[in-house]
Amino acid sequence: MAKPKRAILAAAQESSTPPDELTETQSIARVVKAEGNSIYSCELPNGKPVLVELEPKFRNTIFIRRGGYVLIDLADAQERLKTGRVSGDIINIVRDEKEWRKQPYWPKEFVKKTFGEDEDEDSNVGKLPPSDSEDE
**DSSP 3-state of 125:** coil
Tens digits of residue pLDDT in 26-35:
999 999 999 9
The single-letter code of the amino acid at 60 is N
Q: Is the pLDDT of residue 37 over 80?
A: yes
Q: Answer for the pair 95, 16: CB distance below 8 angstroms, yes or no.
A: yes
Q: Which of 33, 13, 2 is nearest to 93 (CA)?
A: 13
In this prediction the pTM is 0.73
* pLDDT score recorded for residue 48: 92
| Radius of gyration of the chain measured on its C-alpha atoms | 20
Under DSSP, the state recorded for 51 is E
